[in-house]
């Protein structure tokens, strides 16, 4: 199955120029969309890769102190 992404603008589904050229579409053409499950694309956060990567905080330590130590080195 081929996936083609478009953007909804002003209530209309707009495809990139490369896609419309490849499909041979011109302004005013009608496109029929078929599928069992149509859903909006959800952007994937690049931060999800880091979830759960840091060790547990020491007793009494908060996240701000922890990340400052990671960034700046141990406090003296």
What are the percentages of helix, strand and coil residues in the chain, rounded to 5?
30, 10, 65
Checking if the pLDDT of 33 tops 80, the result is: no
How many Cβ atoms sit within 10 Å of the Cβ of residue 20?
17
Q: What percent of the chain has pLDDT over 90?
A: 3
What does the pLDDT average to over 58-72?
A: 84
- Angstrom CA distances, 42 to 5, 38, 45, 69, stand at 11, 12, 9, 34
Per-residue confidence at 6, pLDDT binned at 50, 70, 90?
Answer: confident
Residue keyed to tokens 């909006």: 40
What does the radius of gyration of the chain's CA atoms come to, in whole angstroms? Answer: 23
């Amino acid at each position: 199955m081929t996936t083609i992404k478009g953007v909804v603008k002003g209530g209309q589904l707009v495809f990139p120029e490369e896609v419309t050229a490849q499909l041979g579409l011109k302004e005013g053409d009608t496109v029929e969309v078929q599928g069992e499950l149509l859903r909006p694309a959800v952007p994937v956060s690049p931060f999800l890769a880091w979830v759960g990567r840091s060790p547990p905080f020491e007793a009494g330590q908060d996240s701000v102190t922890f990340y400052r130590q990671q960034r700046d080195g141990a406090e003296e």
